[in-house]
Chains A and B, each alone.
Chain A
Amino acid sequence: MDLIINLVERTGAKALAWWSSIYSVLSFLGEAFATLAMPATWNRATLDTIIKQIYFTAVQILHVYLIYVVVISWVIISITLSTARNVGLFDQATEMIIRVLVLELLPFLTALLIALRSGSAINTEVALMKVYNELDALAHCKVEPMRFEFLPRIAGGVASVLGLTIMGGVLTLLLAYLSIYGLSASGLYPFATTIASVFNMKVLLGLAVKCGFFGLAVTALPIAAGLETPKKPFMVPVSVLRGMMRVFLALVLIEVLSLALKYI
């Protein structure tokens, strides 16, 4: 009997902890969107901080990201072309590359890169700010942490995922063209026709929404995890661990949902 009671208690405690985490993330997002909608938020100082965040999140890693995209894209394009040639579907190769690489794999890998580089840093910084009372000090000075610290990171994260994905996508299309047609201009018309047939308005909107959710996941979840950190320095690594696990689960969930909505 004790064993069953213990099991029920433990399950209940875990369910409550999960609910409390989900609630805190949702209430944080609600507050962020409410602040975003306030005209007072959009002043020069906030815009400057957003630009600074985009610089730290996207511009600083641009060269690494582009090399990473070239390597991944080149490998996957080569595999796709070789397989398509073997099974007699070479005509469909361009569409396959766009659907698999540009629409699915690149946005996911971009979000993963930003999560590993910036998401973990954001989580650690917010947790340290919480532990060392820096957030209380800002509140005492009536500088809202949401406007000064959190919202610029979220906006910067969303813009960075979107911007890097677009750049990566364009570079991948260029590599795909070169791999299929070489330097000849003869393939421009069929290649452009395939691109136009895949990238209709619905697909573009879906890609933008997915990138937006990826951007939210890699910034808002680490911030929310940092804010949950108890005021004890030894809890900072635990906070980062929890935050990054949530980011990973959220990224997988967004990708699976997007695939399910498109193909099932």
Chain B
Amino acid sequence: MFADAKALAGAIQDISAETAACVSPDLPLRANLSARENIALIPLYQKSRGVAEATQLAQALLDKLGYATIGDKRDPDMTPAERFVAKIARALILNRQRLIIERPGAMLYDIPYPAFLHELSKRIDEGPARWEVFDFEWNKILYS
């Protein structure tokens, strides 16, 4: 979806957190946890998995996304792309029907992000069928 700032904010507000997992600049990683711990939190607390199993699931997801080495890094030590991948993995492990990526340009400001998003989505063969990107109208040209 492409819209101006006001319409985008309205559309994002209407998204139900029950059915959609969001990757947003407004939903940061927990700063004192590593990327792997941030992802493992979900199976640990929400699905009552054991620590070892939750950690394994988190690492497997990072491996699949092609960022196996960021597992031990904390938020301030990650590059924008690494941070974004950690957020994507956290959203994927939620296993909700939709994956919403909100204002990717605000998170991936130092790389050509449409191509990066496309590349990442190709590495995931399960989870939400469609990645939905909510971006500003004036960035539409970047996706063509």
Q: Hey, which bits of chain A sit against chain B, CB under 8 A?
A: 43-45, 48, 125, 128-129, 132-134, 136-138, 140-144, 147-148
- Whether, in the assembled complex, B103 has its beta carbon less than 8 Å from a beta carbon of chain A, the answer is no
Chain B contacts of A143 at CB under 8 A? 41-42, 45-46
Please name 5 further chain A to chain B contacts, defined as beta carbons within 8 Å, in addition to the given A136-B27, A137-B29, A143-B42, sorted by A numbering: A45-B44, A45-B51, A134-B30, A134-B31, A144-B45
Per the bound structure, the CA–CA distance linking A43 and B30 in Å amounts to 21
Partner of A148, one of B17, B22, B41, B90: B41
Chain B contacts of A134 at CB under 8 A? 28-31
Per the bound structure, the CA–CA distance linking A147 and B41 in Å amounts to 12
- Whether, in the assembled complex, B13 has its beta carbon less than 8 Å from a beta carbon of chain A, the answer is no
Chain A contacts of B32 at CB under 8 A? 125
- Whether, in the assembled complex, B50 has its beta carbon less than 8 Å from a beta carbon of chain A, the answer is yes
**A153 to chain B: closest CB distance in Å?**
12
Within 8 A of A (CB), among B30-62: 30-32, 41-42, 44-46, 48, 50-51
Chain A contacts of B30 at CB under 8 A? 129, 134, 137-138
Per the bound structure, the CA–CA distance linking A132 and B30 in Å amounts to 10
Task: Identify which of A43, A136, A140, A147 gathers the most chain B CB atoms within 10 Å of its CB.
Answer: A140
**Contact A148 B45, CB 8 Å, known A137-B28, A137-B29, A140-B27:** yes
**A165 to chain B: closest CB distance in Å?**
28
Per the bound structure, the CA–CA distance linking A125 and B48 in Å amounts to 26
Chain B contacts of A133 at CB under 8 A? 26-28
The A/B interface has a contact count, at CB < 8 Å, of 48
Per the bound structure, the CA–CA distance linking A142 and B42 in Å amounts to 8
CB–CB B51/A141 < 8 A: no
Per the bound structure, the CA–CA distance linking A136 and B26 in Å amounts to 8
Partner of A140, one of B22, B31, B50, B51: B22
- Whether, in the assembled complex, B94 has its beta carbon less than 8 Å from a beta carbon of chain A, the answer is yes
Chain A contacts of B28 at CB under 8 A? 132-134, 137
**A38 to chain B: closest CB distance in Å?**
13
Partner of B50, one of A44, A128, A136: A44
Chain B contacts of A142 at CB under 8 A? 42, 45-46, 94
Chain B contacts of A137 at CB under 8 A? 27-30
Nearest neighbor of A149 in chain B, beta-carbon distance: B30
Chain A contacts of B22 at CB under 8 A? 140
Per the bound structure, the CA–CA distance linking A243 and B103 in Å amounts to 36
Nearest neighbor of A128 in chain B, beta-carbon distance: B31
Nearest neighbor of B39 in chain A, beta-carbon distance: A141
Pull 9 A–B residue pairs with CB atoms less than 8 Å apart, ordered by A: A45-B45, A125-B32, A133-B28, A134-B28, A136-B26, A137-B30, A141-B94, A143-B45, A147-B45
Partner of A132, one of B17, B31, B41, B50: B31
Task: Identify which of B29, B44, B51 gathers the most chain A CB atoms within 10 Å of its CB.
Answer: B44
Per the bound structure, the CA–CA distance linking A129 and B17 in Å amounts to 20
Per the bound structure, the CA–CA distance linking A45 and B41 in Å amounts to 9
Chain B contacts of A144 at CB under 8 A? 45
**B19 to chain A: closest CB distance in Å?**
12
**B36 to chain A: closest CB distance in Å?**
15
**B52 to chain A: closest CB distance in Å?**
10
Per the bound structure, the CA–CA distance linking A147 and B45 in Å amounts to 9
